Chain A
Amino acid sequence: MSAAGAPILEVMPPPEPAPTDVPPASAGPELDAESREWLRSLRAEGAVYHSAVGRLHALLLRAAHFEVSRRRPMLPHLRGNELDDIALEAADDALMSVLAHLDDFRGLSRFTTWVYKFALLEAAVKLRRRAWQGREVPLEPTGWDVFASGAAEPDAEAEQQELLGAVRRSIEEALTPHQRRVLVALVLNGVPIDVLAERLGTTRGALYKTLHDARRKLRQHLAEAGLSPGSPSQEER
Protein backbone atom coordinates (compact mmCIF):
# COMPACT_ATOMS: atom_id res chain seq x y z
CA MET A 1 0.00 0.00 0.00
CA SER A 2 1.44 3.42 -0.85
CA ALA A 3 1.53 6.21 1.67
CA ALA A 4 -0.78 8.17 -0.62
CA GLY A 5 -3.34 5.38 -0.64
CA ALA A 6 -3.06 4.49 3.01
CA PRO A 7 -6.16 4.89 5.09
CA ILE A 8 -6.09 7.25 8.01
CA LEU A 9 -4.04 5.42 10.56
CA GLU A 10 -5.27 5.65 14.07
CA VAL A 11 -3.52 4.15 17.07
CA MET A 12 -6.27 1.81 18.02
CA PRO A 13 -6.79 -1.62 19.55
CA PRO A 14 -7.03 -4.58 17.22
CA PRO A 15 -10.58 -5.15 16.01
CA GLU A 16 -11.16 -8.45 17.76
CA PRO A 17 -10.94 -9.04 20.58
CA ALA A 18 -10.66 -5.55 22.05
CA PRO A 19 -8.55 -5.85 25.22
CA THR A 20 -11.26 -4.42 27.43
CA ASP A 21 -13.74 -6.92 26.00
CA VAL A 22 -11.69 -9.98 26.81
CA PRO A 23 -13.36 -12.04 29.52
CA PRO A 24 -11.54 -12.66 32.82
CA ALA A 25 -9.43 -15.75 33.20
CA SER A 26 -12.18 -17.64 34.95
CA ALA A 27 -14.36 -17.45 31.83
CA GLY A 28 -11.49 -17.68 29.35
CA PRO A 29 -9.30 -20.45 28.04
CA GLU A 30 -8.26 -23.27 30.32
CA LEU A 31 -5.04 -22.41 32.12
CA ASP A 32 -2.03 -24.68 32.07
CA ALA A 33 -1.31 -26.44 35.36
CA GLU A 34 1.67 -24.25 36.27
CA SER A 35 -0.27 -21.02 35.71
CA ARG A 36 -3.19 -22.37 37.76
CA GLU A 37 -0.82 -23.22 40.60
CA TRP A 38 0.73 -19.75 40.53
CA LEU A 39 -2.69 -18.12 40.77
CA ARG A 40 -3.87 -20.47 43.50
CA SER A 41 -0.82 -19.88 45.67
CA LEU A 42 -0.75 -16.11 45.09
CA ARG A 43 -4.39 -15.93 46.14
CA ALA A 44 -3.80 -18.08 49.22
CA GLU A 45 -2.95 -16.83 52.69
CA GLY A 46 -0.16 -17.35 55.19
CA ALA A 47 2.86 -19.47 54.39
CA VAL A 48 1.61 -20.59 50.96
CA TYR A 49 1.19 -16.97 49.85
CA HIS A 50 4.53 -15.82 51.26
CA SER A 51 6.36 -18.72 49.67
CA ALA A 52 4.74 -17.97 46.30
CA VAL A 53 5.66 -14.30 46.56
CA GLY A 54 9.25 -15.26 47.29
CA ARG A 55 9.39 -17.56 44.26
CA LEU A 56 7.75 -14.92 42.10
CA HIS A 57 10.29 -12.31 43.18
CA ALA A 58 13.11 -14.70 42.29
CA LEU A 59 11.63 -15.14 38.78
CA LEU A 60 11.26 -11.40 38.33
CA LEU A 61 14.79 -10.78 39.54
CA ARG A 62 16.15 -13.29 37.01
CA ALA A 63 14.27 -11.53 34.23
CA ALA A 64 15.51 -8.12 35.41
CA HIS A 65 19.12 -9.38 35.49
CA PHE A 66 18.64 -10.71 31.96
CA GLU A 67 17.62 -7.25 30.76
CA VAL A 68 20.50 -5.62 32.63
CA SER A 69 22.94 -8.04 31.00
CA ARG A 70 21.57 -7.27 27.53
CA ARG A 71 21.97 -3.54 28.06
CA ARG A 72 25.24 -3.60 29.99
CA PRO A 73 27.41 -2.69 26.96
CA MET A 74 25.42 0.55 26.62
CA LEU A 75 26.15 1.47 30.25
CA PRO A 76 29.93 1.08 30.58
CA HIS A 77 30.11 3.75 33.27
CA LEU A 78 27.94 1.77 35.70
CA ARG A 79 29.56 -0.61 38.15
CA GLY A 80 28.29 -4.12 38.77
CA ASN A 81 26.73 -3.31 42.12
CA GLU A 82 24.84 -0.37 40.58
CA LEU A 83 23.46 -2.65 37.91
CA ASP A 84 22.51 -5.20 40.57
CA ASP A 85 20.68 -2.46 42.45
CA ILE A 86 18.76 -1.49 39.31
CA ALA A 87 17.80 -5.13 38.71
CA LEU A 88 16.62 -5.51 42.31
CA GLU A 89 14.62 -2.31 42.17
CA ALA A 90 13.06 -3.42 38.88
CA ALA A 91 12.12 -6.79 40.39
CA ASP A 92 10.63 -5.10 43.46
CA ASP A 93 8.54 -2.73 41.34
CA ALA A 94 7.49 -5.53 38.99
CA LEU A 95 6.38 -7.64 41.98
CA MET A 96 4.14 -4.81 43.16
CA SER A 97 2.67 -4.41 39.66
CA VAL A 98 2.04 -8.14 39.22
CA LEU A 99 0.32 -8.47 42.60
CA ALA A 100 -1.76 -5.34 41.93
CA HIS A 101 -2.84 -6.61 38.51
CA LEU A 102 -3.27 -10.30 39.31
CA ASP A 103 -6.95 -10.21 38.44
CA ASP A 104 -6.08 -8.74 35.02
CA PHE A 105 -4.28 -11.94 33.98
CA ARG A 106 -6.51 -13.34 31.27
CA GLY A 107 -4.89 -16.73 30.83
CA LEU A 108 -4.09 -16.03 27.17
CA SER A 109 -0.40 -16.72 27.82
CA ARG A 110 1.55 -18.67 30.38
CA PHE A 111 1.55 -16.92 33.73
CA THR A 112 5.34 -16.78 33.73
CA THR A 113 5.45 -15.01 30.35
CA TRP A 114 2.91 -12.53 31.66
CA VAL A 115 4.98 -11.71 34.76
CA TYR A 116 8.29 -11.55 32.88
CA LYS A 117 7.05 -8.64 30.80
CA PHE A 118 6.57 -6.56 33.94
CA ALA A 119 10.15 -7.16 35.08
CA LEU A 120 11.64 -6.58 31.64
CA LEU A 121 9.68 -3.34 31.25
CA GLU A 122 10.70 -2.04 34.67
CA ALA A 123 14.36 -2.88 34.05
CA ALA A 124 14.37 -1.43 30.53
CA VAL A 125 12.77 1.84 31.60
CA LYS A 126 15.14 2.26 34.56
CA LEU A 127 18.18 1.54 32.40
CA ARG A 128 17.11 3.95 29.65
CA ARG A 129 16.56 6.68 32.20
CA ARG A 130 19.85 5.92 33.93
CA ALA A 131 21.72 6.11 30.62
CA TRP A 132 20.32 9.61 30.07
CA GLN A 133 20.61 10.79 33.64
CA GLY A 134 22.18 14.26 33.71
CA ARG A 135 22.14 14.56 29.93
CA GLU A 136 20.28 17.28 28.12
CA VAL A 137 17.55 15.98 25.82
CA PRO A 138 18.09 17.48 22.34
CA LEU A 139 14.86 18.75 20.81
CA GLU A 140 16.45 20.28 17.70
CA PRO A 141 17.65 18.11 14.81
CA THR A 142 21.15 16.69 15.29
CA GLY A 143 20.83 13.56 13.22
CA TRP A 144 20.35 14.52 9.57
CA ASP A 145 23.71 13.03 8.64
CA VAL A 146 22.24 9.55 8.91
CA PHE A 147 20.39 10.28 5.67
CA ALA A 148 23.55 11.07 3.73
CA SER A 149 24.98 8.10 1.87
CA GLY A 150 28.31 8.24 0.05
CA ALA A 151 27.80 4.69 -1.11
CA ALA A 152 24.72 5.39 -3.22
CA GLU A 153 24.84 5.77 -7.01
CA PRO A 154 24.73 9.41 -8.15
CA ASP A 155 21.17 9.16 -9.43
CA ALA A 156 20.02 7.44 -6.27
CA GLU A 157 21.92 9.94 -4.15
CA ALA A 158 20.24 12.85 -5.95
CA GLU A 159 16.85 11.22 -5.51
CA GLN A 160 17.61 10.60 -1.86
CA GLN A 161 18.61 14.21 -1.34
CA GLU A 162 15.46 15.44 -3.06
CA LEU A 163 13.37 13.25 -0.79
CA LEU A 164 15.30 14.37 2.26
CA GLY A 165 14.73 18.00 1.33
CA ALA A 166 11.02 17.33 0.98
CA VAL A 167 10.98 15.57 4.36
CA ARG A 168 12.70 18.50 6.05
CA ARG A 169 10.25 20.95 4.49
CA SER A 170 7.34 18.74 5.53
CA ILE A 171 8.59 18.62 9.11
CA GLU A 172 8.70 22.42 9.16
CA GLU A 173 5.42 23.01 7.35
CA ALA A 174 3.09 20.16 8.24
CA LEU A 175 3.76 19.52 11.93
CA THR A 176 2.75 21.43 15.02
CA PRO A 177 5.66 22.60 17.21
CA HIS A 178 4.92 19.81 19.71
CA GLN A 179 4.78 17.15 16.99
CA ARG A 180 8.04 18.46 15.54
CA ARG A 181 9.82 18.38 18.91
CA VAL A 182 8.63 14.84 19.65
CA LEU A 183 9.50 13.49 16.20
CA VAL A 184 12.93 15.13 16.19
CA ALA A 185 13.81 14.00 19.71
CA LEU A 186 12.58 10.42 19.37
CA VAL A 187 13.47 9.57 15.79
CA LEU A 188 16.21 11.92 14.64
CA ASN A 189 18.05 12.32 17.92
CA GLY A 190 17.42 8.87 19.34
CA VAL A 191 16.07 9.97 22.71
CA PRO A 192 14.35 6.97 24.35
CA ILE A 193 10.61 7.50 24.62
CA ASP A 194 10.58 6.84 28.38
CA VAL A 195 13.25 9.48 28.91
CA LEU A 196 11.37 12.07 26.88
CA ALA A 197 8.11 11.16 28.64
CA GLU A 198 9.74 11.72 32.03
CA ARG A 199 11.24 15.08 30.98
CA LEU A 200 7.97 16.31 29.49
CA GLY A 201 5.83 14.96 32.32
CA THR A 202 3.77 12.70 30.10
CA THR A 203 3.48 9.00 29.25
CA ARG A 204 4.97 6.70 26.65
CA GLY A 205 1.54 6.11 25.16
CA ALA A 206 0.75 9.82 24.82
CA LEU A 207 4.10 10.53 23.20
CA TYR A 208 3.75 7.65 20.77
CA LYS A 209 0.32 8.91 19.76
CA THR A 210 1.92 12.28 18.99
CA LEU A 211 4.69 10.55 17.01
CA HIS A 212 2.15 8.44 15.13
CA ASP A 213 0.13 11.51 14.16
CA ALA A 214 3.27 13.37 13.10
CA ARG A 215 4.40 10.48 10.91
CA ARG A 216 0.97 10.26 9.32
CA LYS A 217 1.02 13.98 8.53
CA LEU A 218 4.51 13.68 7.05
CA ARG A 219 3.49 10.77 4.82
CA GLN A 220 0.41 12.64 3.66
CA HIS A 221 2.42 15.79 2.99
CA LEU A 222 4.98 13.83 0.98
CA ALA A 223 2.28 11.97 -0.91
CA GLU A 224 0.69 15.27 -1.88
CA ALA A 225 4.10 16.28 -3.22
CA GLY A 226 4.20 13.12 -5.31
CA LEU A 227 6.64 11.29 -3.05
CA SER A 228 5.85 8.10 -1.20
CA PRO A 229 8.77 6.44 0.55
CA GLY A 230 8.45 2.90 1.88
CA SER A 231 7.75 1.91 5.44
CA PRO A 232 10.10 0.13 7.87
CA SER A 233 7.87 -2.89 7.97
CA GLN A 234 8.04 -3.19 4.19
CA GLU A 235 11.76 -2.65 3.97
CA GLU A 236 13.10 -4.39 7.01
CA ARG A 237 10.98 -7.49 7.38
Chain B
Amino acid sequence: MTQEADPRQALARLLGPVEAEVSCEVCFEELDRYVDLELAGEDAEAVIPGLRAHLAGCPACGEEHESLLAFTACE
Protein backbone atom coordinates (compact mmCIF):
# COMPACT_ATOMS: atom_id res chain seq x y z
CA MET B 1 0.00 0.00 0.00
CA THR B 2 2.66 2.51 0.93
CA GLN B 3 4.47 1.88 -2.35
CA GLU B 4 1.35 2.41 -4.45
CA ALA B 5 1.88 4.83 -7.33
CA ASP B 6 -1.63 5.25 -8.69
CA PRO B 7 -3.87 7.22 -6.30
CA ARG B 8 -7.00 5.73 -7.84
CA GLN B 9 -5.73 2.27 -7.05
CA ALA B 10 -4.74 3.38 -3.57
CA LEU B 11 -8.24 4.70 -2.99
CA ALA B 12 -9.83 1.58 -4.43
CA ARG B 13 -7.70 -0.56 -2.15
CA LEU B 14 -8.75 1.56 0.82
CA LEU B 15 -12.43 1.08 0.03
CA GLY B 16 -12.09 -2.64 -0.76
CA PRO B 17 -14.08 -4.85 -3.09
CA VAL B 18 -17.72 -3.98 -3.66
CA GLU B 19 -18.70 -7.55 -4.44
CA ALA B 20 -19.71 -9.99 -1.71
CA GLU B 21 -16.69 -11.85 -0.44
CA VAL B 22 -15.85 -14.84 1.70
CA SER B 23 -14.00 -14.57 5.03
CA CYS B 24 -10.31 -15.32 5.61
CA GLU B 25 -11.29 -18.65 7.18
CA VAL B 26 -13.33 -19.75 4.17
CA CYS B 27 -10.57 -18.50 1.89
CA PHE B 28 -8.03 -20.78 3.57
CA GLU B 29 -10.49 -23.66 3.54
CA GLU B 30 -11.13 -23.33 -0.18
CA LEU B 31 -7.78 -22.05 -1.48
CA ASP B 32 -6.36 -25.42 -2.58
CA ARG B 33 -9.54 -26.27 -4.47
CA TYR B 34 -9.60 -22.82 -6.07
CA VAL B 35 -5.98 -23.13 -7.23
CA ASP B 36 -6.43 -26.62 -8.65
CA LEU B 37 -9.48 -25.38 -10.58
CA GLU B 38 -7.46 -22.44 -11.91
CA LEU B 39 -4.63 -24.74 -12.98
CA ALA B 40 -7.16 -26.99 -14.71
CA GLY B 41 -8.42 -23.97 -16.68
CA GLU B 42 -11.84 -24.03 -15.02
CA ASP B 43 -13.90 -21.11 -13.77
CA ALA B 44 -12.88 -21.21 -10.11
CA GLU B 45 -14.95 -18.14 -9.20
CA ALA B 46 -18.12 -19.81 -10.48
CA VAL B 47 -17.45 -22.82 -8.24
CA ILE B 48 -16.39 -20.78 -5.19
CA PRO B 49 -18.14 -17.40 -5.43
CA GLY B 50 -16.74 -14.57 -3.40
CA LEU B 51 -13.21 -15.90 -3.16
CA ARG B 52 -11.80 -13.73 -5.96
CA ALA B 53 -13.20 -10.60 -4.30
CA HIS B 54 -11.61 -11.63 -1.02
CA LEU B 55 -8.22 -12.14 -2.68
CA ALA B 56 -8.51 -8.60 -4.08
CA GLY B 57 -9.43 -7.17 -0.67
CA CYS B 58 -7.12 -9.11 1.66
CA PRO B 59 -3.41 -8.65 0.86
CA ALA B 60 -2.27 -11.57 3.03
CA CYS B 61 -4.69 -14.08 1.51
CA GLY B 62 -3.89 -12.62 -1.92
CA GLU B 63 -0.18 -13.23 -1.40
CA GLU B 64 -0.79 -16.77 -0.21
CA HIS B 65 -2.94 -17.44 -3.26
CA GLU B 66 -0.16 -16.18 -5.53
CA SER B 67 2.36 -18.39 -3.77
CA LEU B 68 0.19 -21.51 -3.86
CA LEU B 69 -0.63 -20.99 -7.52
CA ALA B 70 3.02 -20.41 -8.45
CA PHE B 71 4.39 -23.28 -6.37
CA THR B 72 1.76 -25.80 -7.40
CA ALA B 73 2.16 -24.86 -11.05
CA CYS B 74 5.87 -25.63 -10.99
CA GLU B 75 5.66 -28.82 -8.95
Interface residues of A (CB under 8 A from B): 1-3, 6-7, 9-15, 19, 63, 66-67, 70, 108-110, 112-114, 116-117, 120-121, 124, 128, 142-143, 146-149, 152, 160, 163-164, 167, 183, 186-190, 192-194, 204-205, 208-209, 211-212, 215-216, 218-219, 222, 229-237
Interface hits, B14-28 → A, CB 8 Å:
14-26, 28
- Would you list 5 pairs from A and B whose C-beta atoms are within 8 A, ordered by A residue? A112-B75, A113-B36, A117-B32, A128-B60, A231-B16
Minimum distance in angstroms from B10 CB to a CB of chain A: 4
A163-B11 contact in complex given A124-B63, A234-B18, C-beta closer than 8 Å: yes
Binary contact readout B60-75 vs A (1 if CB under 8 angstroms, 0 otherwise): 1001100110111001
Chain B, interface size: which category? 35 or more
Chain A residue contacts of B33, Cβ below 8 A: 108-109
Minimum distance in angstroms from A232 CB to a CB of chain B: 4
The docked-state distance in angstroms from the alpha carbon of A108 to that of B47 is 11
Interface residues of B (CB under 8 A from A): 1-26, 28-33, 35-36, 48-53, 56-60, 63-64, 67-68, 70-72, 75
Chain A residue contacts of B29, Cβ below 8 A: 19
Chain A residue contacts of B59, Cβ below 8 A: 186, 192-193
Assess the B7–A146 pair: CB atoms within 8 A: yes
Chain A residue contacts of B17, Cβ below 8 A: 231-233
Assess the A66–B30 pair: CB atoms within 8 A: no
